[in-house]
Homo-oligomer: A and B are copies of this chain.
Amino acid sequence: MIKTQSPLLARANRIRSLGIFGILFAFVVICASLALTTPRFLTVPNLTIILTQVSINALLAFGVTFVIITGGIDLSLGSMVAVTGVAAALFAHPDTYPLVVPLLVALAAGLAMGGFNGLVITKSKVPPFIVTLGTMTIGRGLALILSKGRPVSNLSDGFNFIGGGQVFGIPFPIIILVVVFGLCSLLLKKTIWGRYMYAVGGNEQAARASGISVAKIKMLVYTLCGALAALAGIVLTSRITTGQPNAGQGFELDAIAAAIIGGTSTSGGSGTMTGTLIGALLIGVISNGLDLLNVTSYYQEVVMGVIIIGAVVLDGLNRKR
C-alpha cells in the first residue's frame, strides 16, 4: 500500500539523510555576504589561511563526531590537546630524538587518555559528561606537571614543519585536514565499525541484540577521539613552535559546536563528517570575517553567537520542509 507513495518518501528520506543541505545553505549565505562586504575575503591567500586555522578545530570535531554519534560526549579534548602537545614538545628539541619519537609519544598520550575515557565509561555506569569532565581537569593538571607550568619551546625545524611548512605551496595542516577527513568519512560510512557506531547511538539495546559489542565500539570512538586530539596537539604545538600547558582551553566546545552545527544529533545515531567539516568551516569563516571587517572584539563575540544560533535555526527551518 505504500507502493504508491514510494518515490516521494524515498526522495524525502534521501534528502533528510544528507541533512546537511540546510547548514550548507547557511554557510553559502554567510560566505556570499562576506564576499560582498569585503573584497579581501574571497582571495586565495585568505581562504588558505582560513583552512589552516580551521584545521585544528576540524580534527577535534571529527573525533568528537564519532563520539556523539554513539550518543556520548567528550569534554576532555582541549586538555588532551595540551597534554599531547607538551608531551610532543618535550621530545622535539633540536638534535635530541628523531622526528618520529615526539609524534609517537603524543599519539601514545592521546590513545592513553582516550582509552581511559572509554574504559571508565564502559566499565562503570558513569555518564560520559562526568568522566570526560574529570579527564579534562586531570589532563590540564598533567600538562602543567609535564611542562612545570612553563611553555616548552625551542623545537626542531623538522617538527615545526608539520604546522608551519608547505607542500607545493599548500600549508601542511591543510593536507593533514584533507587526508584525515577522507579517512574519517571512509571509516564512518564504509566500514563495519562506522555502521556499528550509528547502531549503538541509535538504539543501544537493539545494537546489542543484533550481536554488536557495544563496549568495544565505545572504546573505539573514545580512543579514536584521543588519537585525533593528539594529532591536533601536534599540529598546534608545531604551528606555535611551543608546547603550551594551557593550550586548547575551550577547544572542546568549539569542536562539539562544529559537530552539532553540522547536523550531528546530540542524542546520537546520526551525523556525517561532511556536516562536521562544514560546521568547522562555518565557525572559521565567521571569525576570519569578523577580523577582516575589524569588528570590535566585544561585538565580535555577540555577532559570533548570534550567527551560530541563526545558522542552526535556518538549518532547522530548511529541514522542516
Q: Which residues of A contact B (CB under 8 A)?
A: 75, 120, 124-127, 129-131, 133-142, 144-145, 149, 253, 256-257, 260-261, 265-266, 297-306, 308-309, 312-313, 316-317, 319-320
Contacts and interface: CB of A to CB of B under 8 A. Distances in A.
5 contacts: A120-B313, A124-B312, A124-B316, A127-B260, A145-B299
Contacts of A304: 137, 141
B126 A298 contact: no
B312 A144 contact: no
A173 to B, nearest CB: 25
A141 B260 contact: no
Which one of A257, A265, A305 has the greatest number of beta carbons of chain B within 10 Å?
A: A305
B302 A137 contact: yes
Contacts of A139: 305
A307 B144 CA distance: 19
Given A126-B313, A138-B301, 12 more contacts: A124-B312, A124-B316, A125-B316, A126-B316, A130-B257, A130-B308, A135-B309, A136-B305, A137-B305, A137-B308, A138-B305, A145-B298
Q: Which among A127, A130, A136, A319 has the greatest number of chain B C-beta atoms within 10 A?
A: A130
Contact of A253 (B133, B142, B145): B133
Nearest to A146: B298
Nearest to A142: B302
Nearest to A304: B137
B266 A141 contact: no
A244 to B, nearest CB: 15
A149 B256 CA distance: 28
Given A129-B266, A313-B124, A141 B257 contact: no
A188 to B, nearest CB: 20
B126 A309 contact: yes
